[in-house]
Amino acid sequence: MAARLIENLATSPQYAAIFEDESLLQAMLDFEAALARAEASAGVIPQTAAAAIGKSAHADGFDATQLSEQGLRAGTLSIPLVKALTERVRAADPSSARFVHWGATSQDVSDTAMVLLLRRARGLLQADHARLQESLRRASDEHAGTVMLGRTLLQPAPPITFGLKIAGWFGAIRRGWIRLDAALRDAMVVEFGGASGTLAALGDRALPVAQALAKELDLALPEAPWHTQRDRLAAVACACGIYTGSLAKMAKDVSLLMQGEVAEAFEPGGEGRGGSSTMPHKRNPIACSLALAAGDRVPGLVANYLFGMAHEHERAVGGWHAESATLAQVVQNTGLALVSMAEVAAGLGVDGARMLKNIADTRGVIFAERAMILLGESLGRDVAHKLLEDAVQQSVQTGRKLTDVLASIPQITSVLPASEIRTLDDPKAYLGAAEVFRKQLLAATD
């Protein structure tokens, strides 16, 4: 399903389909059918009624527009849907219609339906994450020895490897997925509490029905109904926020590396991708833009969800009604950021020669730290720091290489031999533990 035009930059077709009208209605109907089967197995309603309800619990033929309008008046979609399902059952088997939604309440339907949709989303997220993670691992290995500028506060800094930068993305995204997957697994619980969360209407059959319902839906049965305890779903929202933030960090880095003045790495292009409506020369970071947009939206949505957690007593006024749309937006934006960056990682272009040129264009001033450390062993750090400050200033003002400036300062040549000064700006000789850190990031397991 294509997203609505107003949302086409806030979701993807796959994630939009999870929360489309028919999908939501079917999840709600799946609850009703499973409830009927569970109650029949516990002897609460006749088996014939469960069969009739199950046969009628299919989303096709329900009028989503009419249900939406009626839901506005009822305060929940569950009420008009249960009425419509009851009428459909009555038309096929009048004696079974009275057993529709037996002992349940509206929020049981809507909450469990959301859990079922989240389960679908989890499978899709898991597959997309695995694809992204594998692409990042492969790219990091490929560029383990590709040297580039480090950049701090957007300014040139001592060199790193592109493989380490990619491994940094990999590590944060992997950790984010561990949190998100754990939150999603914890949220896979049925909601079934009846009017006040006690299942009093089912008497001594309450627990057997609840257990059977959870089994029918392949969900866990929580310790108690959770109508106004929203912590599990809140944890999903928060984990989405962190995960999306890590995806956005990767997008920010790639988009900055794509700048014309930098031109070191590029997201994949193609027909209709990355162009401009007015400037034919443009190669815009579109996938990164989508991930960054999601990264901008999700924190506010998460805050909105958390703000509504204080539900009143045994059933909320407003909080419950507000959160489903919010959570659906959080998950869809997370999915959009994920598929966008999976596309980037799979087709990432790298210009290693440009990376080396950008290092050379600094005329070696990024190696001032290295020179300072070497001089500091003999002259002390404070003296060495002042010498290098002056040398860097000369390099910038005169356009000379830092090594040439250093070679002309007697106080420095008296300590460092000419051969050592000449090799100070070899980027591959000043990478520290970059490769160790890269391998450790990739070796971490879930």
- Selected catalytic residue, list 276, 378, 408, 414: 276
Percent of the chain as helix, strand, coil, to the nearest 5: 65, 5, 30
- Selected catalytic residue, list 315, 354, 370, 400: 315
Cα(169)–Cα(249) distance, rounded to whole angstroms?
8
Helices (H), 42-161: 47-56, 64-74, 78-92, 106-142
Cα(420)–Cα(401) distance, rounded to whole angstroms?
15
- Dig out the tokens for 137 from the structure: 């691992």
Q: Is the dihedral of CA 238, 240, 241, 243 positive or negative?
A: positive
**Known catalytic residue at 315:** yes
Q: Taking Cα atoms as reference points, which of 92, 165, 35 lies closest to residue 437?
A: 165
Cα(48)–Cα(446) distance, rounded to whole angstroms?
47
**Known catalytic residue at 138:** no
Cα(250)–Cα(113) distance, rounded to whole angstroms?
33
433: helix, coil or strand? coil
Q: What angle do CA 43, 197, 324 make, to 5 degrees?
A: 110
Please identify every residue annotated as catalytic. 276, 315
